Amino acid sequence: MLDVAAAGKSPDDVRKPAAPGDVINVGMQEALPDPDPVASIYHRSLPHVYGYLLSRCGSASLAEDLAAETFMAAVAAARQPGAPEITVAWLVGVARHKLADHWRRSAREERNQAVAAQPAGAVDDPWDEWLDAEAAYAALRCLSPHQRAALTLRYLDGLPVAEVAEHLGRSVHATETLLARSRAALRLVYQEDGRHGR
């Protein structure tokens, strides 16, 4: 034992040398690796990520949601083996991708709503691609003169509905109804032929 009195120090002043694995040694001399790299950069990077998103989307609530998604993606990435270094630039890059994903999702939803809002006659009908010209003309001859005229003007001559209405002396709405009924009648005659029952 060390002679404390001889050294002129009290026993509290004398410390043993720390062992290499000693917690005191680790805490005092070297930094512990951060178990969560996202948490360590969160407060420093949040203003950059949020600011980036807000300046581009213009909505505080959307920017908050996308920033939250960005940090959730960062946490998931940090848990993967070979995780990238989580930096402010990396987080802004993730935010850019989250914003692009949001825009694509919004555009897809708008397209779906636009299609759902279209009247039934305005939806593209794949039937046009299936028709065989010879059988179509034969089926067309079985229709009434008004139906035949409406379909011929619209689909063979390629006139817009308003011009078809003008040629037939009908309103645009009445012409749209006539066209829808004429297409249905043509399809029925075409399918009853037996060879084209698609």
pLDDT 10s digits, 49-82: 999 998 888 889 999 999 999 999 999 998 889 8
Q: What CATH number does residue 181 fall under?
A: 1.10.10.10
**88 and 54 part of one domain:** yes
Give the Cα separation of 91 and 129 in Å (integer).
48
Residues 160, 173: one domain? yes
Helical ranges in the chain per DSSP H: 4-7, 23-29, 37-57, 60-78, 88-117, 127-130, 133-141, 145-151, 161-168, 172-192
| Tokens representing residue 25 in the block | 């040694």
φ, ψ of residue 32 to 5 degrees: the values are -70, 140
Q: How far apart are the first and last CA of the chain?
A: 101
Q: Where does residue 160 fall: left (phi above 0), alpha (psi -120 to 50 degrees), or beta otherwise?
A: beta
In a domain, 12, yes or no: no
User: Distance (Å, rounded) from C-alpha 106 to C-alpha 117?
Assistant: 16
Range of the domain at 147: 122-192
Q: 133 and 90 in one domain?
A: no
Please, are residues 53 and 67 in contact by the beta-carbon 8 Å criterion? yes
- Render pLDDT for 8-34 as a digit per residue (tens, 0 to 9): 554 455 444 544 444 444 333 343 355
50 or 190, which is more confident?
A: 50
Against a cut of 0.85, is the pTM above it? no
Would you say residue 94 lies in a domain?
yes
Start-end of H helices in 8-36: 23-29
Residue 61 has what pLDDT?
94
**Strand, helix or coil for residue 119:** coil
Tell which of 84, 117, 150 closes a domain. Answer: 117
Task: Give me the count of residues in the chain.
Answer: 198
What is the reported pLDDT for 117?
76
